[in-house]
Structure 1
């Protein structure tokens, strides 16, 4: 198919004007028959403006339009009683689509309050904000199940993954308790969710955790100090849960980290948040089907009984996956998948899906349960595919202190990489301490990239093999040393050293390719995703 064809459709359809008064004025439905208005609950729709005609659904998809327009009964947000001690308004959030705000509870606890519906107005170029293209992008919100996030906590609990506990509410049209932002939330369906940031938000669910951090500070600490490490097995478990749920939007900003002290090391345990895209349904219309092809917007994967594209489903998380899954082996992924199969029983799934509002469960419950059961059966195969994607190119990064990287070509089919901390004169014990070890297989891995970062690092490559995995070594700032005594016969893949021309030493080896150059460009390593 000509890849320009979908672009033609989009350009043709974007020539009209933006639809005025796009969103429903109030989520609350008018009462019929003069029934009394309850003070603590309301009959609402999450977004009845997404209910469109047959022709529109043919081109843009049925998505979850019926769910958005289904009347449900939700509690009315009572800021004084919704949590013990009540809530007071905090600062507005910086999201580009949902309206969000931090609300403050007692004893320093904080919560996130955000609308279920979204407006992608700010995500578009200014020239497109007054065109029909804005209508199209707004309409795509209907591909998400507005109540899907409320199904996740019981599933995450059973799988052994830390989680938030979101709750849905309706904000009265006359609510003024949110300060100057009150008008932005009035008449809307919202989600209230704990914010796992800082010591004040620690709960008994985190056990001996001493703090809660965002991904940015966590990664800064990870690369600054050798004994700050990510719990990679826990992260792999959480990522398999993402795949099972069809949650494609798992970039580094979608995670918090519980901080633990274990045997002299600081360990960061993942906490997924913002489950807005679970059970996504996108490719059921002509235009979104074209847009979600692998050569287009591949990340928009539809939740089906079959995993249609694991690579697309994992696309948004490539940055954090590369940094938080470099140690996890294929057998470990398989063990995690098998254990999750055992834990996520039919009873767990049924009870979790019943967290949907009853009227929505009547529409989507059976289909969601059936899809989760089918995907559970195929989870080990999906985990195998996911691992193979990750294993093709693995990055092993050190810290800003001195490390010793040891690459051993053990056989034609295996290569082992170890990383040791090299203690300074003022550290005890004075022996090198193992930070990282993994056995790589030539059939799975094409390239291993080593980043020394700051510190005076040493890289050792040894062993003989007919074939070998390509090794890229980036020394980083400070003086580094490379010793390559390996031999790769029959034209196999060898090692290459990338650094500045001066200030480094490396032994003359026929198998080591000198890629040094002037300037500090090769020292750059993206630590935080900026």
Structure 2
């Protein structure tokens, strides 16, 4: 958990005057015998995902109740057998995962890959070795209890109702069976979620749209910024993002996604989003004295409650902001409204009840009714949340091209309105429209255009109102910047061209109010590879 790396560095703990509390609250304790796994005669196991998270009243007061009861409650899970899990069996491929989750990749005889993801988490590996077994490490491990251990288990049916792609995790108990080979000691005897791995050819998988090629964010974004033949289904991505907010899933950085690709006419390819890793859905953090204080400073650590506060929408989406700004830039307020209304209608009471009902009975008894109530209540707020989300993204807009040649057409279409069109430049035919959106004063204050690579054209048709601060960054290539209609001498505008001096041709009238400034592009403004720095993918 990265938030504990930041919030609980030793020096910071001493400044807070709470180091004594960590030492007292994180002392080791024995696992109750009643929580140890019991193997039944019908190849099932009765085990608790995290009995070690049971803590005393003082610890819970300071560090939160969280989902400790759910972690400590034994549930029944089938014993996982590599030979019979899928037709033809599975063999271990490689270990993986983040600093929190242990993953074991598996492959069947046809080359289809699956993954076992540990239900329990351990973020201490992100710490220096000398801190992992100390009070800081124990506190980090303890705060795994902010995660609903079986939250990811109910998401697929909710996603199916919402029209969002998803994996299908199954709760299983992995014994230390000999077939695990070199992974036997590290992975054996624990609860896991077993699911298909969204990668490669998924032509037979409806949950990924029957896509013949599913790619990582690194590969997909490299294609998107390298050539204009690739595009994202932005409305489909918006549906997934509003679904994230409904679940309270704030950890939606770029690596939490895969992309199903679909070939189109003229060699085009469209990507649709596949959300993955739902560990932080239904996050519960601010129910302890210390965790509440931390939540005041970390706006994205929001607790899953019955209400989505509009003032929290920005913080809830902080991790995904670079993606949202890139992929949703051309959607209108009406698009946001339509998708929110569609979600609200599709996420029926019946769909919610059916999804939560797949929990083990012991977990449903603890959380089922509460979750159904919260999900119903949050559903009714989706329209307001979508409007706020649009407002936040519309305020400051960034519109990148690609490393190929494009034409940016900036048109002053009406008082307080500017239309920006992005077109692919063609040699033997007319330029083809890639994207277009009309921006309105009052919603949008700054618009930044990035040519990236290629010999681009930035063309003005009239000058936008000074309500819009428009900036043009040429990037690589030799670009042409022109005004089609000369501005009147008394006209005013707030347009700045940042010229890198690499052979650009500026055709501006002598009395133009457009400002030109010499500029050395930053690495994340220069070309496609540099733009990936904004997405933590390069």
Relative to the length of structure 1, the TM-score reads 0.91
Aligned to 2:467: 468
- Unpaired runs of 5+ residues, structure 2, are 1-6
Which of 377, 389, 397 is 2:380 aligned to? Answer: 377
Partner-residue secondary structure (3-state), 1:496:
strand
CA deviations 1:399-436 (Å, max 9, x no partner) are 111100011122232211101101135xxxx1100001
Q: 1:268 to 1:378 in 2, by over 3 A?
A: same
1:156 aligns with 2:163: no
Whether the aligned pair in 1 keeps the contact of 2:37 and 2:48 (CA below 8 Å) is: no
CA distance in 1, matches of 2:315, 2:488: 35
CA distance in 2, matches of 1:383, 1:201: 32
Which of 8, 31, 34 is 2:15 aligned to? Answer: 8
Q: 1:208 to 1:138 in 2, by over 3 A?
A: closer
1:307 aligns with 2:308: yes
Aligned to 1:79: 82
Whether the aligned pair in 2 keeps the contact of 1:99 and 1:184 (CA below 8 Å) is: no
Aligned to 1:134: 137
1:59 aligns with 2:59: no
Pairwise mapping of residues 92-171 of structure 1 onto structure 2 (< 5 A)? 92-126=95-129, 128-171=131-174
CA distance in 2, matches of 1:175, 1:26: 23
Partner-residue secondary structure (3-state), 2:178:
coil
Aligned to 1:495: 495
Aligned to 1:526: 531
Aligned to 2:506: 506
Q: 1:356 to 1:37 in 2, by over 3 A?
A: closer
CA distance in 2, matches of 1:170, 1:526: 43
1:230 Cα deviation from its structure 2 partner: 0.6
Which of 409, 413, 427 is 2:412 aligned to? Answer: 409
CA distance in 2, matches of 1:486, 1:154: 57
1:393 Cα deviation from its structure 2 partner: 1.5
Q: 1:317 to 1:492 in 2, by over 3 A?
A: farther
CA distance in 2, matches of 1:99, 1:512: 55
Whether the aligned pair in 2 keeps the contact of 1:407 and 1:462 (CA below 8 Å) is: yes
Q: 1:383 to 1:7 in 2, by over 3 A?
A: farther
1:499 Cα deviation from its structure 2 partner: 3.3
Partner-residue secondary structure (3-state), 1:374:
helix
CA distance in 1, matches of 2:454, 2:327: 22
How much is the aligned-residue C-alpha RMSD, in angstroms?
2.7
Greater mean deviation of Cα atoms: 228-237 or 494-503: 494-503
| Regions of 4+ moved over 6 Å | 3-7, 20-23, 25-28, 488-492
Whether the aligned pair in 2 keeps the contact of 1:236 and 1:328 (CA below 8 Å) is: no
Aligned to 2:343: 340
Partner-residue secondary structure (3-state), 1:108:
coil
Q: 1:12 to 1:19 in 2, by over 3 A?
A: closer
1:154 Cα deviation from its structure 2 partner: 0.9
Partner-residue secondary structure (3-state), 2:283:
coil
Whether the aligned pair in 2 keeps the contact of 1:27 and 1:45 (CA below 8 Å) is: no
Partner-residue secondary structure (3-state), 2:374:
helix
CA distance in 1, matches of 2:18, 2:125: 20
Pairwise mapping of residues 162-241 of structure 1 onto structure 2 (< 5 A)? 162-172=165-175, 174-199=176-201, 202-207=204-209, 209-241=211-243
1:11 Cα deviation from its structure 2 partner: 5.5
Whether the aligned pair in 2 keeps the contact of 1:250 and 1:317 (CA below 8 Å) is: yes
CA distance in 2, matches of 1:281, 1:49: 18
Whether the aligned pair in 2 keeps the contact of 1:488 and 1:494 (CA below 8 Å) is: no
CA distance in 2, matches of 1:136, 1:489: 66
CA deviations 1:218-238 (Å, max 9, x no partner) are 011111111210111100000
Partner-residue secondary structure (3-state), 1:243:
helix
Aligned to 2:3: none
1:26 Cα deviation from its structure 2 partner: 9.9
CA deviations 1:52-87 (Å, max 9, x no partner) are 011111100100000000111111111111222211
CA distance in 2, matches of 1:459, 1:273: 38
CA distance in 2, matches of 1:190, 1:28: 17
Q: 1:441 to 1:115 in 2, by over 3 A?
A: same
Partner-residue secondary structure (3-state), 2:84:
coil
Whether the aligned pair in 2 keeps the contact of 1:14 and 1:131 (CA below 8 Å) is: no
1:210 Cα deviation from its structure 2 partner: 2.7
- Unpaired runs of 5+ residues, structure 1, are none
Aligned to 1:357: 360
Greater helix content: 2
CA deviations 1:101-142 (Å, max 9, x no partner) are 111123111011121111111223456435322222211110
Partner-residue secondary structure (3-state), 2:452:
coil
Whether the aligned pair in 1 keeps the contact of 2:167 and 2:207 (CA below 8 Å) is: no
Partner-residue secondary structure (3-state), 2:106:
strand
- Count residues in correspondence: 517
Q: 1:211 to 1:26 in 2, by over 3 A?
A: farther
Partner-residue secondary structure (3-state), 2:262:
strand
1:41 Cα deviation from its structure 2 partner: 0.4
1:29 aligns with 2:28: no
1:211 Cα deviation from its structure 2 partner: 0.9
CA deviations 1:459-479 (Å, max 9, x no partner) are 012324554311111111110
Partner-residue secondary structure (3-state), 2:110:
helix
1:268 aligns with 2:271: yes
Partner-residue secondary structure (3-state), 1:310:
helix
CA deviations 1:198-250 (Å, max 9, x no partner) are 11675244456331111111011111111210111100000010010111111
